[in-house]
Structure 1
């Protein structure tokens, strides 16, 4: 089968898409990588990204039939998906944690000097950093992984907090000083997971992609996103959730914080696998009652 795979053109997006393309080629399929420019790629430097900014153009290309498959970072997909599209597979998940990287290396969140500047593009990361270290200064720092690493090295900030999975996938994992414990900084829902998206009507292609789906990853991602939905937030909300599936048991750490570091709440929930979505729904509603999430 010939498959046109749509992706952003960043180094990380291409690495993610090539990993999926290799799987499909190993199954005997002819895969063409198609680069698509999204609104997230053309926004002004340090402007705040909107929900779906990195996926909308690719989703529309799928719906128009210009590509057959899209690969996204699962955390970037809007909570309300396009009705004509479906996530056909979630392959293995990478490290879901956030990572601290300093210019000189060898640092940690606790060892940063008072007044150090920490760059991030995320209200969630900003809030949890402030909750842990009120003496640090948060600096808005946007851009893809390469751009943020370059800006760190240029001295714009003393450290950055970024998704570990993205750094690992571009082969720079050795630069990570500290992989932050989820109890200190609960990851964004679906962080570290990839979504392989296709048209809902392409039954033959969906059957091919289904071979690459990991049910435990799918359940974890669905539960984490349910937490976010239950809070009434979007993918930019200062909410973290990380689910772990082990046989019939389900465990989830859920956290929320205001972006100024106040009202932090982090709790752990557990239960049977079959109850995962109900537990996630209740956890999200409870978090919304306890934290303003602004």
Structure 2
């Protein structure tokens, strides 16, 4: 499999100052953990299923996608449904690299599918998830979780890549950020297996952890219950996220380990995808490994 980290310069101060912060809702009872030894490091995180750069109108417009992400004014964002030279629907562009370029961020792309090109000599066709970060990416890995492929006939559940993990340095605090996209089918059995795999991956890491993604089920779904033994949903009373216009379900989630304080959360109403992005303001209190 191909892994890639695209490093880009940060946005200039003038542009950063022009980004208006998204109003956030403050969770009831939000407070800093007792005995914090050092000033906490603030971190604004988001998750966004970008629908391969197409809006609800199914028109490909990566500039519109970049604009929606820019409006969130985030430090790190996990993306789902990311095309890299994948198909005509996204003009065969490398969406991870182009979004990183447009936003002045570093990017890590974790393909779910890695296919031969349609024409000899062209780049490989890839589709998956990504993480964009304003802070330095210290380490990155594309993990396998159970999947039911959409690219082969008669698929069976099997380990496959496309679960992104990055470790980033936030003013000296190291945090693990994961971007995931769970199975979309009505049958919850594959999602249940994916939750088990996810918890195994997270258990191998120490320090603060942020898991974001399109879960393709609402947080209260039985197959997701095990997640909430180790993680906390940052917006249990948050706005619905799908479809983007008049959403009826909240399936896009930012979740955190118990050692992270949640300051506020919000969603952005935008037609740049068929999902709404979710953003959370966090405070990091511990150094990761």
The alignment's TM-score, normalised by the length of structure 2, stands at 0.23
Q: Give 1 or 2: higher strand fraction.
A: 2
Q: Give 1 or 2: higher helix fraction.
A: 1
The alignment's TM-score, normalised by the length of structure 1, stands at 0.23
